[in-house]
Structure 1
Amino acid sequence: MNMQRLEKYNFKNKALTLVSFLFVLFFSSCEDTVTLDLETGETKIVVDAEIIWQKGTTGNEQTIKISKTAPYYNNTTPKVSGAQVRIENKNGDIFTFNETGPGLYVCTNFVPVINMDYTLYVTAEGQSFTAVEKLTSVTPIDKVEQNIVPDFGGEDIIELTFYYKDPADEVNYYLTDYKSGFLLFPEYELTNDELFNGNQISTRFSDEDKMKPGSIVEITHRGVSKNFYNYMNLLLEVYGGSPFSIPPGNIRGNIVNTSDSNNFAFGYFRLCEADKVSYVVK
């Protein structure tokens, strides 16, 4: 069906806005250096905690990244070392994440179980954080097709379409990302099955400028919870960029500071089953 509620986000509009703004600054003052005073406010912990179980794998190795917010003009993101990180499932099984590099915490014996509740515990820089989420399943990608279609200007472009069957007996939410060498940043799509529950879904992707024969497009299709779907929807509408960058406007995820409720962390603890396809454009 082609009735899906679908939203796609990328960096193109943001980049064009930035270029236009810089263009105006350049021609309005060729002699003066203009520096914008962009403050980040209070420094906060950022927890990038995606547990992703790719179909066909054990899902035993998982990674969590911990960093801090940084001033806008900083070229690097401060990493948080020395944290204690673990996940516990509702059965009481504990999975410990050990630091393998600055701010990089890895577990090699994680056990993913669909619909299992998991709790994340993080202790970093004297603060304790926790979050609870359920591991959400995803229906597999059935096939990927390639077609030539006209764009808005009438020029022929390459379009990829991938198909999957939405389960009829449950409400489903999906997050898909597209990565390729011709994309500076991934492109994201959010989908829910409000209008097409139980039907085959077809989702399209194209890039009128750069996708050519020989390009490799990596499609990662996730099942996500309703709460994470709503968080992503808000985040992408406001920011229009990468959902795993530091969000503006103090958009809160599900990570709670149990030491000081006002000093929340950025990020969202999510557990997703995913199907991944690498497609070579013909």
Structure 2
Amino acid sequence: MQSTLHINAYSLRFLAVFALVFSMWSCEDVIEVDTPSEDPRLIVDALIRVDTTTAFTNVRIQVSQTNGFFESIPPVDLQQITLTGLEGGLSAILLETSPGVYEQDISTPALSSGEEIFLQIDFENEFYVAYATYVPAPQIDELKQGDGFLFDEDDTEVIVRFTDIPEEENFYVFDFGFGNFLASEDTFYEDQEFVFSYFYDDEVETGDELTISILGADAPFYNYMNQLVEQSEDDLNPFQTPTLTVRGNLINATEIDNDEFFDNVEMENNFALGYFAIVQEHKASLTIE
């Protein structure tokens, strides 16, 4: 029996379109984008917040390492993290409690005595160091919700009132949660009560409880936080190398062999990201209505 294949004009048009689509799909190339890269750099979160009403402070330092674009930042396996009081009042080794997180409960009076504290991080046959001295902070006198807005009627206003520590040049860092910080100096409200507003956009809703902190700061930590806040506000292209790397106070001291010479001028690009600071923290909370 002879079989006959019948293909009408509609079928031919369908086959032609299918062949065109298939050829376009099968010839699709994978485009690989070269992103800027550099050697991995240590990242250290060593902001120690002290509540002087407690006998012990949980010192928690988190360490990770930079990685390429589109990749997770891995925790770091360190040899050791130590805190030492230069006058011999403090000596502590932090223990790893989870990947990249090192903790130890340390006497609050030892941290807040005003003694200069030395941090050393041993990593891959090198060591990073920084100094910090406890910085006090004032209480938050009042925290309340306002009804104003900045750019949008959906903004949520919180009003903060506090009194500057008298007879000193003071710097403060406010932590508003959600990764929002504000650095302030007392140039225009020295020795006075100060009231200001902070606005949240769409991050908070009715019923949310907000906890806001005021942290003490010295001038270098204030400058560091100011730069961080400014850089975080820039709308950077993710494929563009950032124009600014905010440098903290952790340096690679492996090649420094003079106890009286604390500098790595000859290795100016060999440093860890992050900052080591010991600051008093006062908190206040409110529920959004």
User: Normalised by the shorter chain, which TM-score bucket?
Assistant: 0.7 to 0.9
Q: Is the 8 A contact 2:48 2:279 kept in 1?
A: yes
More strand, by proportion: 1
Distance 1:240 1:169 in 2: 33
1:230 aligns with 2:226: no
Q: Is the 8 A contact 1:239 1:248 kept in 2?
A: no
Q: Is the 8 A contact 1:176 1:222 kept in 2?
A: yes
Distance 1:72 1:125 in 2: 23
Q: Which residue among 20, 42, 47 is the counterpart of 2:44?
A: 47
Distance 1:102 1:150 in 2: 42
TM-score, with structure 2 as normaliser: 0.75
Q: Is the 8 A contact 2:135 2:218 kept in 1?
A: yes
Distance 1:136 1:101 in 2: 28
Distance 1:269 1:138 in 2: 17
Counterpart residue number, 2:280: 273
TM-score, with structure 1 as normaliser: 0.77
Q: Is the 8 A contact 2:171 2:185 kept in 1?
A: yes
Counterpart residue number, 2:58: 61
What is the RMSD computed on CA atoms of the aligned residues?
2.3
Counterpart residue number, 1:165: 163
1:94 aligns with 2:91: yes
Uncovered stretches (5+) of structure 2, i.e. residues with no partner? 1-27, 235-241, 256-263
Q: Is the 8 A contact 2:43 2:64 kept in 1?
A: yes
Q: Deviations over 1:2-56 (max 9, x none)?
A: xxxxxxxxxxxxxxxxxxxxxxxxxxxxx88766532231111112111111353
Q: CA deviation at 1:115?
A: 2.8
Distance 1:34 1:177 in 2: 42
Q: CA deviation at 1:157?
A: 5.0
Q: Deviations over 1:196-247 (max 9, x none)?
A: 1011111312224453331211202101111111112123223438xxxxx8
Q: Is the 8 A contact 2:87 2:115 kept in 1?
A: no
Comparing 228-237 with 121-130, which one deviates more in the overlay? 228-237
Counterpart residue number, 1:220: 213
Counterpart residue number, 1:77: 73
Q: Deviations over 1:153-210 (max 9, x none)?
A: 6x4754211111002210111111112xxxxx42111110011101111131222445
1:257 aligns with 2:232: no
Q: CA deviation at 1:248?
A: 6.7
Uncovered stretches (5+) of structure 1, i.e. residues with no partner? 1-30, 180-184, 242-246
Paired amino acid for 2:221: F
**Identity of counterpart residues, as a percentage?**
26
Distance 1:173 1:201 in 2: 13
Distance 2:225 2:49 in 1: 16
Considering Cα pairs closer than 8 Å and 6+ residues apart, tell me whether 1 or 2 has the greater RCO: 1
SS of 1:234 mapped into structure 2: helix
SS of 1:170 mapped into structure 2: coil
Q: CA deviation at 1:84?
A: 0.7
Paired amino acid for 2:40: T
Paired amino acid for 2:146: N
Which one has the largest radius of gyration? 2
SS of 1:46 mapped into structure 2: strand
